[in-house]
Amino acid sequence: MDKVTLSVIVPMYNEEEVIPETYKRLKNVLDGLNESYEIIFINDGSRDRTGEMLLKICESDYNTKLIDFARNFGHQIAITAGMDYAAGDCMVIIDGDLQDPPELIPDMMELWRQGYDVVYGKRKARKGETFFKKFTAKAFYRILRSLTDINIPVDTGDFRLIDRRVCEALKQLPERSRYVRGLMSWVGFKQTAIEFERSERFAGETKYPLKKMLKLAMDGIMSFSYKPLKLSSWVGSLLSLFSFLYLIEVLLQKLLFPHTAQSGWASLIAVSLFFNGITLLMLGIIGEYVGRIYEEAKGRPLYIVSELKNMEERKGPRFNITQRQNKKD
């Protein structure tokens, strides 16, 4: 494998508008470093011209590599693939839309040289994002923190530098519903933060619609805490206790005052709706965990690569690449 000091991992999903600028700014910073480096782009099943554009860049620049996914597997899986293939002694994970400034990389490397294994970017401010996104993100990081025992830093995305050791440790974690920044806290090592202002997206719009954001949030909580399950057993026990006490009261009333007219309908409906609601909610929580167990049990590979560029000799640790034999080059 080639000797590389720094691998920069950039996931790309329908990002044709930002690719030239991202490449230019990354190149600028990396050339100034005086280090051997590689840029690994992951094309996460884009439907626009992202794939072609990245391939073109790779053809003119051997330090730029491409992992082309067979379909959209999602951001967290894309960065996992990047780490699987990266050859660097350290690696930087950075968004492709220039919301994370590449100019921070030299400072991150400086901290890495001082002995830190993980240097994560902490968002001081977020520009160009809706109030809703900022608010939900802030709330989510804090809820997650209160639910888990491990120390997952708040207001921190996937923009970070990690040492090879951390990457190797992460490769040992085979789980499917990956919340990568949580896994990185889980493996430990010496970590430090570097603050930055998160700028606006250079162009295009977010590739994280509400649905994907919710899935990421659920993955974060479900993979790092079973407190929701504990909560459901607590609520269950409390409600059973109250119901039992109330049952005794109802029975006593019936025995002691058998002829009093009891107004039944409204209270029956209320009790039934309330308990059914709670039961379904708890079932849903259990369902979330069962679904995740099912996902793990299937043991499918995390992603399928359809093509590698400029690193065909490297083997992904989890599967064999399906290369087409009849391809005209």
Cβ contact 52:15 at 8 Å:
no
Which phi-psi region, left, alpha or beta, contains residue 7 (left: φ > 0; alpha: ψ -120 to 50)? beta
Q: Which is nearer to Mg ion, 127 or 300 (CB)?
A: 127
Q: How many residues does the chain have?
A: 329
The binding track of 72-91 with respect to ligand UDP, each residue x by CB under 6 A or -, is x-xx--x-------------
Determine contact, residues 81/72, Cβ cutoff 8 Å.
Answer: no
Distance set, CA 20 to CA 23, 38, 326, 327 (Å): 5, 17, 31, 27
22 binds ligand UDP (CB under 6 A): no
| 208 HSE (CA, 13 A, CB side) | 16
Convert residues 45-74 into a mask of x (bound to ligand UDP by CB under 6 A) and - (unbound). ---------------------------x-x
Q: Which 197-216 residues touch ligand UDP, going by CB under 6 A?
A: 206-208
Binding partner of residue 208 among ligand UDP, Mg ion, none, CB cut-off 5 to 8 Å per kind: ligand UDP
CA 259 distance to own-chain centroid: 63
The letter for the amino acid at 141 is Y
Contact 98, 174 (CB under 8 A): no
Q: Smallest gap, in angstroms, from Cβ of residue 276 to ligand UDP?
A: 36
Distance of closest approach, residue 98 Cβ to Mg ion, in angstroms: 8
Residues 95-124 that bind ligand UDP (CB under 6 A): 95-97, 99
Residue 140 interface partner, choices ligand UDP, Mg ion, none, CB cut-off 5-8 Å depending on type: none
Site membership for Mg ion, residue 97 (CB under 5 A): yes
Both tokens of 1, joined, read 């494998």
User: Binding ligand UDP by CB under 6 A: which of 6, 7, 9, 15?
Assistant: 15
How many residues at the interface with ligand UDP, by CB under 6 A? 16
Hey, what amino acid is at 305? V
Q: Answer yes or no whether residue 220 interacts with ligand UDP by CB under 6 A.
A: no
Residue pair 118/183 in contact by the 8 Å Cβ criterion:
no
Q: Please tell me whether residue 99 binds Mg ion under the rule CB under 5 A.
A: yes
Binding interface with ligand UDP (CB under 6 A): 11-13, 15, 44, 72, 74-75, 78, 95-97, 99, 206-208
